[in-house]
Amino acid sequence: MKKIMPPTYFIVLLVFSIFFHSFFPLIKFSYFPYNYLGVLLIVFGIFLNIKADSMFTKSRTTVKPHLMPSFFHVSGPFKISRHPMYLGMFLILLGAALIMSSLVTFIFSFLFVILMKILFIPEEEKNMEKAFGKKYLDYKKKVRQWI
């Protein structure tokens, strides 16, 4: 059975966010030019995803959270987050919500965090502990899960 991966959840939630903003806009709370600060969040989120993905590709380790990793990254975006790709996707959703400035859009940003914490992070961290033991446990003490 093929698992639904985090990028699929991200895309679906982004589409839902746009849909709900278009058809059920709730309380507009930010106005031009302040709502365009969301662009910075989106750019940083894209950067985190590209950088982390390129590191996975270069080290030839899996990006799929349910598979056993073969390499342990501690540099680059992994210095600020144990899950920089999830953080990047969250920032993109949050940036889009800020641009749309409709309260309903923020629900999907935080729903993404909840889904990742329930569906992927526990198994991913368990695999990291199995593969890298004390080295990973020490890293967990130094670097937060998200930011």
Q: What's the burial of 51, exposed, middle or buried (CB within 10 Å: 0-12/13-18/19+)?
A: middle
pLDDT of res. 31: 73
Does 22 reside within a domain? no
Gyration radius of the chain over CA positions: 16
* Average pLDDT for 78-106: 95
Domains in the chain: how many in total? 1
Domain membership of residue 137 as a residue range = 37-142
Q: Specify which residues 102 forms β-bridges with.
A: 28
Does 112 reside within a domain? yes
Does 23 reside within a domain? no
Does 106 reside within a domain? yes
Does 100 reside within a domain? yes
Residue 77: cis peptide before it, omega within 30 degrees of 0: no
Does 122 reside within a domain? yes
pTM: 0.93
pLDDT of res. 86: 98
pLDDT of res. 91: 98
Does 5 reside within a domain? no
Does 11 reside within a domain? no
pLDDT tens digits, one per residue of 98-120: 999 888 899 999 999 999 999 99
The tokens describing 115, both together, are: 């889904």
